[in-house]
Structure 1
């Protein structure tokens, strides 16, 4: 009779160990982050892969998409839309705070994730790009390039280049009221790699203006 309460206590302690992680007070909906972290910590993806049920990357992306991906939400300061540039999915953030006739700055952003995880529609990247558009009073184009294992190298690079080339066309820049000489490209982790590759290619291209700056974070 005493074994059942002991086992219940042990299971509760183990679950609490996996699910609970200390987080800053500024994190919204921390329970979602804790659940995703617990799923990853228990190697759910590896288990499904080893059992032949699914590729581990599919499992990880399912967890990310289930808890983190959100639709476009505009605010008074930023207009957010999902669209496609040359067949590549992008999320565009446009600041609504500018003077009449004033041209905007712009950033082409590429998310991280090892070319296999993540999305421009994730809550974290949505918040980052939204903040950049608001602070710069400009336009941020967050590219949702295709992911491995469906898309193999160099398809991620091709998607990033194709969407960037489309955006840098004079008619498209004019549509978004962007100054051609004030466009940069940026990204984090694997997205930083893509940003550097896109910037180098555009510097050598004779079609359209090259980015005026490039940055990357790890």
Structure 2
């Protein structure tokens, strides 16, 4: 039912918005992503409005804009727990201040009696990879300073990082970057990744094949987000869709593809009759011009196994009707093999982006259930 409603009510309006932004781009009036984001924000940006239970303020952490949501502390707990939240949107769209994320973070702050720091990182095409990672790193490191935690009355031992979609990618990259610095390695108690995008090497996993034309995030759109993130050439999109960028004759990619061998990382209930797409001859120009495709900082799923063991307790939410489903499931398996405590929360009726669709007119039941399951896990583990 959720997918039917999404197709009828949401997909056409979003498609028309994309058409409008492309027209603006073709007329030379603005970059299509800037135009698209302007349209999105014009329908949903909210000012910082506090309530009886949650104080909301806009500020900056070391030059990075953030929106801070402060839940009421419990009488018997002077220090509160906290979540650093990173919104999705293909590294190019949305905002911490858009109504969907404002409402999500307000709910988290109230139900968890927590401090939620929602990061307003810079977007494509204002900046490109790895600047988004630098923004979330800088803001998070600032927040972790003892004097800042004291200001917000946050328990330094109860801080997690979380994000959805491209925000889940940035949260995973942040978690991995912290493992390389001894003083930061134990600062995060947990990470919670919501239908995260975790790799750009294989666009023919079973979920990419199964959901290649699913609304909200069809495969060709996800590939374009990757190309935009790296300021790459759209001429490469069709070749990347058929995995020409990681073919057998592309030496740099072959070893890395082994780290996301889904025939061993996914259960038979998912692999079914799907076959891997591994081209014999590909286009080496793609990774020559976009070497970032093969970096773990952009594709956390391909990180060294030895490093993964240092990551904190992890929650990964995946949805059946989502091209990114297998990214999350494979990462959960790799983390499990590294000895990390992992919870994989899969929703058979879920679709990409569903967790923020909890208010009218897009108040899908699966959106409410995914949000409640996510917050319940945070409550029990943070």
Same fold by TM-score, threshold 0.5 exceeded?
yes
**Deviations, residues 44-101 of structure 1 (Å, cap 9, x unaligned):** 1111111222111111111112111110010010000000000000000001242266
1:180 aligns with 2:159: no
CA contact (8 A) 1:36 1:64 kept: no
Match of 1:37 in 2: 14
1:211 aligns with 2:188: yes
CA contact (8 A) 1:203 1:210 kept: no
Match of 1:13 in 2: none
1:89 aligns with 2:85: no
CA contact (8 A) 1:85 1:163 kept: yes
Match of 1:54 in 2: 30
Report the secondary structure of 1:127's partner residue.
helix
Instruction: Quote the offset at 1:22 in angstroms.
Output: 5.3
Instruction: Quote the offset at 1:202 in angstroms.
Output: 1.9
Distance 1:179 1:34 in 2: 42
Distance 2:150 2:110 in 1: 19
CA contact (8 A) 2:73 2:79 kept: no
1:102 aligns with 2:73: no
Distance 1:192 1:34 in 2: 22
Instruction: Quote the offset at 1:204 in angstroms.
Output: 2.9
Report the secondary structure of 2:60's partner residue.
strand
1:202 aligns with 2:204: no
Deviates more, 1:43-52 or 1:87-96: 43-52
Any stretches of 5+ residues in structure 2 without a counterpart?
Answer: 1-6, 196-382
Distance 1:106 1:152 in 2: 28
Structure 1 counterpart of 2:166, from 190, 196, 212? 190
1:150 aligns with 2:126: yes
CA contact (8 A) 1:36 1:63 kept: no
CA contact (8 A) 1:133 1:139 kept: yes
Instruction: Quote the offset at 1:203 in angstroms.
Output: 2.9
Match of 1:169 in 2: 145
Distance 1:211 1:204 in 2: 13
Deviates more, 1:155-164 or 1:55-64: 55-64
Any stretches of 5+ residues in structure 1 without a counterpart?
Answer: 1-20, 24-32
- TM-score using structure 1 length: 0.81
Matched pairs, number: 189
Report the secondary structure of 2:111's partner residue.
helix
Instruction: Quote the offset at 1:162 in angstroms.
Output: 0.2
